[in-house]
Amino acid sequence: MYLGNATLKQLAQKDFWAFCLFMDYEFYNKRRFLIDVADAMNEVIIQYEKGNAIKISVSMPPRAGKSYITSLFAAYWLCRFPTLSVMRNTCTATLYDKFSYDTRALFRDTKLKEVFPEISLQPDKQNVGGWNLSTAKQVSYFGAGVGGSIIGFGANLAITDDLYKSMTDAMSSQVQQSTKSWKQSAHDSRKEKNCPEIYIGTRWTKNDIIGEAIESGDLKSITIIPALNENNQSFCEDVKSTAEYLKIKSDIDSSIWNAEYMQTPVEAEGLLLPLSSLRFDDLSNINQTHYTYRLSVGDPADKGGDKYAMPFMFVDFSNKKLTCYVKDCICNEAGIIANTGLIINKLHQYMIDECIVEANGVGLAAVLTLKEKIQGLTKLLPFTSTEPKEVRILSNYEFVQKHFVFDSNYKSNPQYYQFIKDLTSYYIKGNNNHKMDAIDVLCSAAKVLKVKFGSVIY
């Protein structure tokens, strides 16, 4: 029910959701799911007025209005407490500047002045790096991107707003650790006594910063909005339709869907190698001539799936440390015989020393075909195995997790993307047909590397 402008304006002085509707009725009236978010944020103010500093978290799908409502709340906090401050930190300095600009612009909006006519910006302190209201005792709004400096300011409200640029960052142990260290040193050290905290962001992994906050038990409320509800319907047709979300779900890696769109940490799904457990780096400029050993491993895909999978890998071995870089992959439904030309081209392109191909079943015919056409440096090594795939996988996946590095640009290569999608969809328990071959060839490669370098690395 529309309450009318005058009533909304009056309510907006004490209620954040009413403030949202008054500031942009058309947007918020179509996105009623944001009431839960607004209520959680409003509780931060209610409790603060009672002398309590609470912590809350909010996670929702892309384009749902997360940044917009957070900017509005930062402005609303300053209108309610015009002598206090807000610190809002995010993943990059560029994004921090945008958020700061957007929040500052709200104080130039005549609609805000209708609700809080006494509030105004201080004319000589309006830099996006840190700006003041005319009533401020110190800087009113400040922050940084992860890794940036925050010196000399104290926060009465602390907001972390998406501290990870992407899932690749969130699943990198190095980036994860550096982000947490920065949060503890730069962000946490700026909080004044009795400072509430709001965690906004995508739930990429179980042990991300929001995950740790949840695990601590310190959060007063946890607001999670999944893209599809329990009836498999869009949470808001104004954001994206059910059909659009179902199409996205079918097109992307299940780990990405669960994290970015459903806000479900990927580790909770029982995957053997969730995306967050893999190591990624930019492999676009690596030179194959610099590596100790170059190999590829192929599976004829006569069992376990309907795709042919073959990764092309460069092995670096120095100081008793082994790293296997997965430079490229073949992963398609054409089968090994139809892929012969592509295999030959990549073997030559990457100067592969040894091409190891399982010769069980249809693999034998393929081995004979490859043997006729391979020329130059590559040595063809057919092998047969009576070991069940599941045993091989469970015996070697931890080696893959520890020693293999994948290209962070994999999405730009359709077959590499499919390979990663299959690799990260293998369940510890469950039906793994049609997605077993990617993980199996890597575990076969791991087994080869254990034999070749095991006496030195163990």
Domain map of the chain by residue range?
5-268, 276-457
The pLDDT score that the predictor gives to residue 457 is: 64
The pLDDT score that the predictor gives to residue 394 is: 84
Out of 203-212, 367-376, 387-396, 403-412, least confident range: 367-376
CATH topology assigned to domain 276-457: Nucleotidyltransferase; domain 5 (3.30.420)
HEC letters along the chain: CCCCHHHHHHHHCCCHHHHHHHHCHHHHHCCCCHHHHHHHHHHHHHHHHCCCCCEEEEECCCCCCHHHHHHHHHHHHHHHCCCCCEEEEECCHHHHHHHHHHHHHHCCCHHHHHHCCCCCEEEEEEECCEEEECCCCCCCEECCECCCCCCCCCECEEEEECCCCCHHHHCCHHHHHHHHHHHHHHHHHHECCCCCEEEECCCCCCCCHHHHHHHHCCEEEEEECCCECCCCCECCCCCCCHHHHHHHHHHCCHHHHHHHHCCCCHHHHCECCCHHHCEEECCCCCCHHHCCEEEEEEECCCCCCCCEEEEEEEEEEECCEEEEEEEEEEEECCCCCCCHHHHHHHHHHCCCCEEEEECCCCHHHHHHHHHHHCCCCCEEEEECCCCCHHHHHHHHHHHHHHHEEEECCHHHCHHHHHHHHHHCCCECCCCCCCCCHHHHHHHHHHHHHHHHHHHHHC
The pLDDT score that the predictor gives to residue 215 is: 82
CATH topology assigned to domain 5-268: Rossmann fold (3.40.50)
The pLDDT score that the predictor gives to residue 53 is: 98
The pLDDT score that the predictor gives to residue 268 is: 40
Whether 5-268 shares its CATH topology with 276-457 is answered: no
The pLDDT score that the predictor gives to residue 54 is: 98
pLDDT at 175 over 80: yes
Please count the other Cβ atoms lying within 10 Å of the Cβ belonging to residue 57.
23
In the predicted model, what is the mean pLDDT of residues 52-78?
97
Tell which wins on pLDDT, 93 or 257.
93
pLDDT at 118 over 70: yes
Residue 226: exposure state from Cβ atoms within 10 A (0-12, 13-18, ≥19):
middle
The pLDDT score that the predictor gives to residue 328 is: 98
Q: Is the pTM of this model over 0.75?
A: no
Q: Give per-residue pLDDT as tens, 342-367.
A: 999 999 999 999 999 877 665 566 67
Tell me the average pLDDT of the chain: 89
pLDDT at 382 over 90: no
pLDDT at 304 over 60: no
The pLDDT score that the predictor gives to residue 287 is: 85
pLDDT at 101 over 80: yes
Q: Which residues contact 299 (CB under 8 A, 6 or more apart)?
A: 308, 309, 310, 358, 363, 437, 440, 441, 444
Q: How confident is the model at residue 303 (pLDDT cuts 50, 70, 90)?
A: very low
The pLDDT score that the predictor gives to residue 333 is: 86
pLDDT at 458 over 70: no
Q: How confident is the model at residue 189 (pLDDT cuts 50, 70, 90)?
A: very high
Tell which wins on pLDDT, 80 or 371.
80
| CB 88, CB 161: distance < 8 Å | yes
In the predicted model, what is the mean pLDDT of residues 51-70?
96
The pLDDT score that the predictor gives to residue 1 is: 44
The pLDDT score that the predictor gives to residue 308 is: 87
Q: Give me the percent of the chain exceeding a pLDDT of 90.
A: 64
